[in-house]
Amino acid sequence: DAGVIQSPRHEVTEMGQEVTLRCKPISGHNSLFWYRQTMMRGLELLIYFNNNVPIDDSGMPEDRFSAKMPNASFSTLKIQPSEPRDSAVYFCASSLDGTPYEQYFGPGTRLTVT
């Protein structure tokens, strides 16, 4: 298995631009998580889906952030408009209900907003 796939791996954009991050979970996994990691705030859960349905989006910072999971093999996290404070590493992770309980992380997308 290729593991969780994220694209792009690096994104540099100017303030005000729209940014779309993409994630392909491990085949067969039915839960998907989006995290943001910064030095100041650590690893924060933004939103998670179970069976393609958003379960908890309380971590989404504001209306500029949105996430979708149109099918079991694809999810997007969109930021519109982007701001410099959105600069961070964004991780996607997936897991399967039931044992084992492990969340498998993707390689992350390093976002820089100038």
Partner 1 sequence: GENVEQHPSTLSVQEGDSAVIKCTYSDSASNYFPWYKQELGKRPQLIIDIRSNVGEKKDQRIAVTLNKTAKHFSLHITETQPEDSAVYFCAASRHLGGQNFVFGPGTRLSVLP
User: Quick one: 14 or 56, whose CB is closer to partner 1?
Assistant: 56
Reduce the DSSP state of residue 86 to 3 states and report it. helix
112 Cβ contact partners less than 8 Å away, ≥ 6 residues apart: 10, 11, 12, 13, 87
Query: Binders of partner 1 among 47-106, rule CB under 8 A?
Result: 48-50, 55-56, 91, 95, 97, 101-103, 105-106
- 36: helix, strand or coil: strand
- Which CB sits closer to partner 1, 15 or 43? 43
Q: In this structure, are strands 74-79 and 109-113 parallel, antiparallel, or unpaired? A: unpaired
* Least distance to partner 1, CB of residue 33, Å: 8
* Residues engaged in binding partner 1 (CB under 8 A): 30-31, 33, 42-43, 45, 48-50, 55-56, 91, 95, 97, 101-103, 105-108
